Structure 1
Amino acid sequence: MKALVLCGGHGTRLRPITHTSAKQLVPIANKPVLYYGLEALRDAGIEDVGIIVGDTAAEVRRAVGDGSGFGLRVTYIEQEAPLGLAHAVLIARDYLGDDDFVMYLGDNFLVDGLTEVVDRFRATRPDVQIMLTPVADPSQFGVAELDADGRLVRVEEKPRSPRSDLAIMGIYLFTPVVHEAVRSIKPDPRGELEITTAIEWLLEHDARITSHIVHGYWKDTGRVEDMLECNRLVLEDLETRVEGHVDERTDVVGRVVVEEGARISGSRLVGPLIIGADAVIKDSYVGPFTSIGPDCLLADTEVEFSIVMERSSVLGVRRLRDSLIGKDVAIKPASVTSTAHQLVLGDHSQVRIA
């Protein structure tokens, strides 16, 4: 059994972060969200992974390499443009051959892993197995409708009037019958080949499709608030580990990780939180559910419930909360005393000023 991991797409909902970074590589607890998916595939007994890449191919290749660091064998498959999930299956035909496979969206986060899901599929081997979860706003997802016996009767992509609250998660399990379906369907009005259209085609052709409702934690990490929520969830399970230097003037409360080379002085750390390798924290407060990336600098600052990515600095700021700060960002007070704010912001930025 193989896996097909999708790492294309433009990540428009995470702009401006994704103007310069792949959305699948935005970190949760200082580890790219993609890594959690690759580790889950490995733990489910899958060794061969094809990764669909697009504009951010070089960055994904640098982050994942040949897959050996995860115990995987990785093959990269170039996609000219994000033309739909079914298009990804279409262009991966030669790689997938006649093997069963898991299709996994690289920006998905599933806390319970994939082992149980894959084992169930291997044991029963339907033509298609889809994962469903109740959501508050199903119109933002592919939506499944089940009959009274729990059988799938219809799927729709982002319907205006959803027939159920069951969203189709970004995890699909297929036998080779799906290849005929993706060859047979037509693009939608946006020019994309939707996987929901392929599943509808298979329903019409009497394929055996099973569904499994997941009540555990799952997120499509396409929005800032989703990233922060996943970060909080992972940090909840931290165990204290201090490999860097924490001086005697620093108070440490709760579960805190300080990576090797980090230096903390005159500060207060209230976990759960993680501070990356070679970061420097001086005279600052770092509060719960915060991830500070490698090589960051915080001085005379307060940060909580936030993600600060690598090599960024936050100096003399009160207080940052519920924030996602990208790489190589500098945040500091204005150079003169003033009631005005001075901002230099990229496209699609969001700022809330108290």
Structure 2
Amino acid sequence: MKAVIMAGGYGTRLRPLTVKLPKPMIPIANRPMLEHIVLLLKSHGFDDIIMLTYFFPEAIEEHFGDGSRFGVRITYRQDPRGGLGTAGAVGSARDLLDSPFLVISGDVITDFDLTEAMDFHRGRKDPATLVLTRVNNPLPFGVVIVDDDSRVIRFMEKPSWGEVFSDTVSTGIYIIDPEVLEMIPRVGHSDFSKDIFPVLLDKGNPPGAYVAAGYWKDVGNTVEYLQIHREIVAGSITLDLPGRLTNEDNAGLFKGEGCVVDEGASLTGMVVLGAGAVIEGDAKVRDSFIGAGCRVGSGVRMRSTVLWHDAIIEKGAFVAGSVIGARTQVRQRANIEEGAIISEDCVIGRGSIVRAGVRIWPDKVVEDEAVLSTHFIWGTRWRGTLFTSGVIRGLSNKEITPEFSARLGAAFGATLPEHSVVSISQGVHRVARMISEALTSGVLSVGVDINDYGVVPIPLARHQLRGQGESGGFHVRRSPSDPEVLEIRLFREGGRELTTSERNEV
């Protein structure tokens, strides 16, 4: 039987995990999400698969090849421009589809009985069958209203609670007769749910509706990505996990080939170890998925975490409920808090802290002893100290952004006495003015007043502090040695530099 996998998504809401990978290739329980789909299709007799790709197609083709390694045959069709829509993309492969076929998204995890769904379709004369499922909260999905004869009578896209008349939603899995392909335009955008199925309804030839039992999740964002791993641990879905299930120490331990677990290590709950993974010393790991080639050092405390391949967690680090990308290094005594998402090829320095929910884009360095409490998107390095020789320096609009500057202004203002007034001034460049405005908003937000002196040189800015009774001040300018760098100088009363303790307080 034939199946079409829609594997061209960007995965924007899953960033930073999808910056270097197409969404269908991100690992779920140590296998690419798309591989779980291929294995499911194979188990139900779908051995002739067409993959529709767009974003990073080479990553998909390199992993799956012609499909023979997985016992299937795979043919690829690439949308060269993007934007064909679900039906338009499937229509591009119409020359390969001469019998009823199944369409499934490349970014879902499910254990539906696809054989039963196919038998349902074959037993009727409907032009298409939508595979539906029941959910507790249908609001984020397209609700489908079905009659007593299991045929679709109405679609409702993302209804409000007052419009919800059904808990059955479309899973994006369809079984389609080849005749439907003739309805798909050969040029331009076309979606099944918006353009093709409504036309079938209008013509009095509605699609059938098969309500499937079992697990189904659209892995749409990083919260759902972590949630699906928790649900695997809880037994909500049974997947074909890589590795050998062992009962030596832990009934839920899966070991890949060549794994090494030191005698003093403690692995509890469900732990899946990829090939060649190493767990050292007295590390304690619970309910986690550790990719191939990873190393977890002695004294590490880890729970409910997903490590992609070749990640390294060094001695004494703490990682809770997070995702650590491929080849990322978490150095000694670092603390990764709940829900942090760290992408590929990053370095998290010794003793540093990544706060809960923070996302770090690829190829970033968090310096030793640094505290990261905001998403790290631009720039390459997060400093362990805010001040360098009494000055805050960083790349314009990358490291020193309006958001950062507003927080800095609020933090500095919070250190000053009640009813304080601060001065603010800047150099001639317009980006310095932008950052000055952001600093001003932050200062005002904590109840501190501002005297804005506009464009003045640093000596004059300090001199004005001596005579106006102000408690402190800022001066922003473009660095004279590097036009890409901004400098923010902070002063206290009389124009003096901040002491070390005052800097630490900020």
TM-score, normalized by the shorter chain, greater than 0.5: yes
- Residue type at the aligned position of 1:290: T
Maintained 8 Å contact 1:291/1:307: yes
- Residue type at the aligned position of 1:200: P
Q: How does 1:1-354 map to 2 (within 5 A)?
A: 1-79=1-79, 80-96=81-97, 98-124=98-124, 126-135=126-135, 138-147=138-147, 150-158=150-158, 164-183=166-185, 192-196=189-193, 197-207=195-205, 209-236=207-234, 239=245, 240-242=253-255, 243-299=258-314, 300-315=316-331, 316-332=333-349, 333=352, 335=367, 344-346=376-378
**Partner Cα distance (1:164, 1:255) in 2:** 36
Segment of structure 1 superposing worse, 282-291 or 98-107: 282-291
Distance of aligned partners of 1:269 and 1:257 in 2 relative to their CA distance in 1, 3 Å threshold:
farther
CA-to-partner distance for each residue in 1:176-233, whole Å, 9 max, x for gaps?
A: 121133239x97xxxx412112011112223252212234221111111111122223
Distance of aligned partners of 1:111 and 1:303 in 2 relative to their CA distance in 1, 3 Å threshold:
farther
Task: State the identity as a percent.
Answer: 31
- Aligned-residue RMSD, C-alpha: 2.8
Distance of aligned partners of 1:289 and 1:342 in 2 relative to their CA distance in 1, 3 Å threshold:
closer
- Residue type at the aligned position of 2:334: V
Maintained 8 Å contact 1:236/1:272: no
Structure 1: unaligned runs, 5 residues or longer: 348-354
Maintained 8 Å contact 1:313/1:329: yes
Segment of structure 1 superposing worse, 193-202 or 314-323: 314-323
**Partner Cα distance (1:147, 1:124) in 2:** 15
CA-to-partner distance for each residue in 1:64-88, whole Å, 9 max, x for gaps?
A: 2111121111111111203311111
How far 1:131 sits from its partner (Å)?
1.4
**Partner Cα distance (1:342, 1:141) in 2:** 30
How far 1:307 sits from its partner (Å)?
3.1
Distance of aligned partners of 1:212 and 1:230 in 2 relative to their CA distance in 1, 3 Å threshold:
same
Query: Is the partner of 1:102 in helix, strand or coil?
Result: strand
**Partner Cα distance (2:117, 2:184) in 1:** 23
**Partner Cα distance (1:75, 1:338) in 2:** 48
Distance of aligned partners of 1:210 and 1:283 in 2 relative to their CA distance in 1, 3 Å threshold:
same
- Residue type at the aligned position of 2:171: M
Q: Which has the higher contact order (CA 8 A, sep 6+)?
A: 1
- Residue type at the aligned position of 2:284: L
Structure 2: unaligned runs, 5 residues or longer: 236-240, 246-252, 353-365, 380-506
Segment of structure 1 superposing worse, 280-289 or 79-88: 280-289
Distance of aligned partners of 1:76 and 1:286 in 2 relative to their CA distance in 1, 3 Å threshold:
farther
**Partner Cα distance (1:68, 1:278) in 2:** 25
| Paired positions, count | 341
- Residue type at the aligned position of 1:198: I
CA-to-partner distance for each residue in 1:4-35, whole Å, 9 max, x for gaps?
A: 11111222211222232101111111111111
CA-to-partner distance for each residue in 1:156-176, whole Å, 9 max, x for gaps?
A: 444565554432112100111
**Partner Cα distance (1:13, 1:37) in 2:** 21
- Residue type at the aligned position of 2:283: R
| TM-score under structure 2 length normalisation | 0.61
| TM-score under structure 1 length normalisation | 0.85
Maintained 8 Å contact 2:304/2:322: yes
Maintained 8 Å contact 2:322/2:336: no
**Partner Cα distance (2:209, 2:375) in 1:** 49
Maintained 8 Å contact 1:250/1:269: yes
Maintained 8 Å contact 2:40/2:111: no
Query: Is the partner of 2:224 in helix, strand or coil?
Result: helix
Query: Is the partner of 1:255 in helix, strand or coil?
Result: strand
How far 1:105 sits from its partner (Å)?
0.5
- Residue type at the aligned position of 1:10: Y
